Amino acid sequence: MRIAIAQGTAPGLDALDAAAAEAAGRGARLLLTPELALSGYVLGPRAAASAEPADGPAARRVEEIAARHGVAVAYGWPERDGGAVFNTVRLVGPDGTELAAYRKTHLYGDQERAAFTPGAEPIVQADLDGVRIGLLICYDVEFPEPVRAHALAGTDLLAVPTALMRPFEFVPRVLVPARAYENGLHIAYANRCGPEGGYDFAGLSCLAGPDGEVRARAGAGPELLIADVDPERNAAARAVTPYLADRRPDLYRTIARSPCP
C-alpha cells in the first residue's frame, strides 16, 4: 500500500485538502498528517475553546475531502466528549467513512496535561486494502509497551501523528526505527516542522520498516513523503529476528507491576 506522510507548518482544513490532493495524485491510499493537524499543537486554554465532537463540522469536512480525493486520511484535532477534551487522531476511509479514532494515552508535559484528558483505550486498529493500521500519537510511541501491544495484536502499519520539537531529534532518528525493528512492523511518523508558539518542531518524519531500515525520511522543512508498505516484510523480518516468538512474558509480570523508583 502506498502512503503519504505530510510534514508541514500550516495546520487547518485547507492545508489538509491540499495535502490530500497531492497524495492522491501521487498514488497514495493513505495520508497521515501531524498531531493536531486541524488546530495546531500549541493551544493552551484554546484547546477547550476549539474542541469539537467526533461528528462536528470539521469531521464532516474531512470526510468530504477524503471522499473527493479518494484517499484515506488520518488527522488530529481537540475532541470534545461531554466535559472532557481529548487529543485525538481519526482515520477516515477513502470513501469518507470513519474507520477508527484513537485518544492519546500518554500526555506529554504540563501543557498537554492541562489541556487534555488521557485516553484509556491502548489499541485501536482498522483495516485498509488488506493492511491492518494501528494508531498512536507522538509521545505514545516512545514507550515500548504500546508498540509491543500493537505488534501482538497484529498491527502491520503503526501510524503516529507527531509534534516533536527540538532538541529531541534522536526520537525519529533512533527510537522510531528501533521500535519498528524490535516489533517487526512498519511505523509511519508524521511530524510538524518549523516554529510555533515558542517551540521549534524538528521535522524528520519517516517511514521505518520492520527491519529497522528507514524507507523514507523528510528533512527539516515542509514535505510530502511517499512510501510503500508491504505487510509481507513484517513476517520476513520477524523470521530473521524473532523477538516476538522468543519473549518470556511469564517473567515480566512483576516488572510491569513495579512502581518507578
> Which tens digits make up the pLDDT trace of 130-179?
999 999 999 999 999 999 999 999 999 999 999 999 999 999 999 999 99
Name the active-site residue from 63, 79, 112, 138: 138
Residue with cell 493551544: 43
Tell me yes or no: is domain 2-257 CATH 1.10.260.40: no
Whether 69 shows a pLDDT value over 80: the answer reads yes
Sequence spans of domains, the chain: 2-257
22 is catalytic: no
> Which amino acid, one-letter code, is at 117?
T
Cell of 25: 495524485
CA distance 20 to 34: 13
- In sequence order, what are the residues at sequence separation of 6 or more whose Cβ sits closer than 8 angstroms to the Cβ of residue 85? 47, 48, 51, 78, 79, 115, 116, 117
169 is catalytic: no
CA distance 210 to 178: 9
Q: What is the DSSP letter of 250?
A: G
Query: Is-contact 96 63, C-beta < 8 A?
Result: yes
Mind listing the pLDDT tens digit for each residue in 75-117? Answer: 999 999 999 999 999 999 999 999 999 999 999 999 999 999 9
CA distance 116 to 112: 6
138 is catalytic: yes
Query: Is-contact 183 150, C-beta < 8 A?
Result: yes
Whether 36 shows a pLDDT value over 80: the answer reads yes
User: pLDDT-derived band of residue 252, with 50, 70 and 90 as boundaries?
Assistant: confident
Name the active-site residue from 104, 112, 142, 206: 104
CA distance 205 to 6: 8
The total number of residues shown for the chain amounts to 261
Look at the pTM and tell me if it is higher than 0.85: yes
CA distance 208 to 197: 29
